Amino acid sequence: SGQLDTLCFDKTGTLTEDGVDVMGVLPVAKGYIERLTNVCDAPLRFLQCLACCHGLTDVDGQLIGDPLDLKMFAATGWILKEPSG
């Protein structure tokens, strides 16, 4: 069996070029990493986390925020609705 001893997450952009894309997610079940899965096919709880855990805001109909947050949210296919005052 194989194992991972290092995972790299590049939220700061120090490892990547100009831009980032979400290729999918790697769900973990019972301690094992499953196959690469399309974000929309991921378990609901995972999808909810991606759709809700961000610092995005809607300004005049355009989402504004961290580029990685924008890509993760876009990959969910969800729509951000700001609370109305």
Is 10 one of the annotated active-site residues of the chain?
yes
Catalytic-labelled residue, pool 5, 10, 60, 66: 10
The residues near 11 (Cβ < 8 Å, ≥ 6 apart) are 66, 68
Strands (E), the chain: 28-29, 32-33, 57-59, 62-64
| CA neighbor of 56 nearest in space, from 67, 42, 46 | 67
Cite the active site residues. 10
